[in-house]
Amino acid sequence: LRCSFEECSATAEWLLSRTEIRPLVGIVCGSGLGGLAEMLKDQMAFKYSDIPNFPQSTVHGHAGRLVFGKLKGKACVCMQGRFHLYEGYPIHKVTMPMRIFKLLGVETVILTNAAGGLNQDYKVGDIMIIKDHINMPGFAGNNPLAGPNDERFGVRFPSMSDAYDRELLQLAQGVGAELGFGDFLREGVYCVLGGPSFETIAECRMMNRLGADAVGMSTVHEVIVARHCGMRVFALSLITNQAVMDYDSQEKANHEEVLETGQLRAKQLERLVSNMVTHIEHNNNDA
Ligand SMILES: O=P(O)(O)O[C@H]1O[C@H](CO)[C@@H](O)[C@H]1O
């Protein structure tokens, strides 16, 4: 069985035997947001290509390293580069690192991504706390939990009405307000598509009418698997571009713009995440 409990355990044990850091927080860096990993002190980094059973990063802006370290004294592990459906990976490979996180002892996952803004009030550079998602590939049966269920990870039919932890959401709002980020901190619904082609104008209009505030090609699959195995989830989108909603517009979505906006807001995003991490409470604080 691919990405089985045994396979994931072997990978986790390989990592645990090579670092003394026992992370309680797992962080995933979105496109152009890999700088988050550089915040970790006393780093121990593994290239994805060296880790048994691990997929490889193929997208520009995703370095392909798993970094262990301390963030303001808290043990963390950080994926500097994530996997997407459009890279050609089967969906369970895209999400496998969440199971590795779980087996490393992670209790809280913080996911970040770059996304297009669908909400007309949003501006490029806004940070959107994800309060819920719409899983378009899921509607078509492409769910990372499809296939036999291993109860050692979680139940067959996990609830998703509590996917995004409300306490962590409140914490982020508080930390954001303290940092003076109120003007560009939002809360909204993220819609995932398969990519790699960006959306048509009609597709953007449709998603917006369906209640989505931002659109991207990641995160949701990871959230489903993280919740399935009982980790708490917090996620945020950096609005790197405005989705094109108007036939008179000459704008075209492009990955270079996505990476450039990442650069612009990187420092604020890092401060938000690191200040949040210092406030997160864990059951097991001896790491
Ligand atoms: O979601 P992340 O990994 O941040 O990347 C986003 O940016 C890329 C498109 O520019 C897509 O991969 C989209 O999902």
Q: Where are the domains of the chain?
A: 5-279
Which atom of ligand 1 lies at the shortest distance from residue 216's CA?
Answer: 14
The ligand 1 atom nearest the CA atom of 259? 10
> Which pLDDT value is given to residue 286?
44
Asked whether residue 107 is marked as a ligand-binding residue, the answer is no
pTM for the whole thing?
0.96
* Lowest-pLDDT range of 12-16, 72-76, 215-219: 72-76
Q: 199 is written with which tokens?
A: 């959306």
Ligand 1 centre distance from Cα of residue 238 (Å)? 10
Asked whether the predicted pLDDT for residue 283 surpasses 90, the reply is no
Instruction: Tell me if 133 is assigned to a ligand binding site.
Output: no
For ligand 1, is residue 30 a contact (CB within 6 Å)? yes
Using one digit for the tens of pLDDT, what is the confidence trace for 64-117? Answer: 999 999 998 999 999 999 999 999 999 999 999 999 999 999 999 999 999 999
- Among 111, 199, 218, 242, the mutation site with the greatest number of ligand 1 atoms within 8 A of its Cβ is 218
The CATH number given to 5-279 is 3.40.50.1580
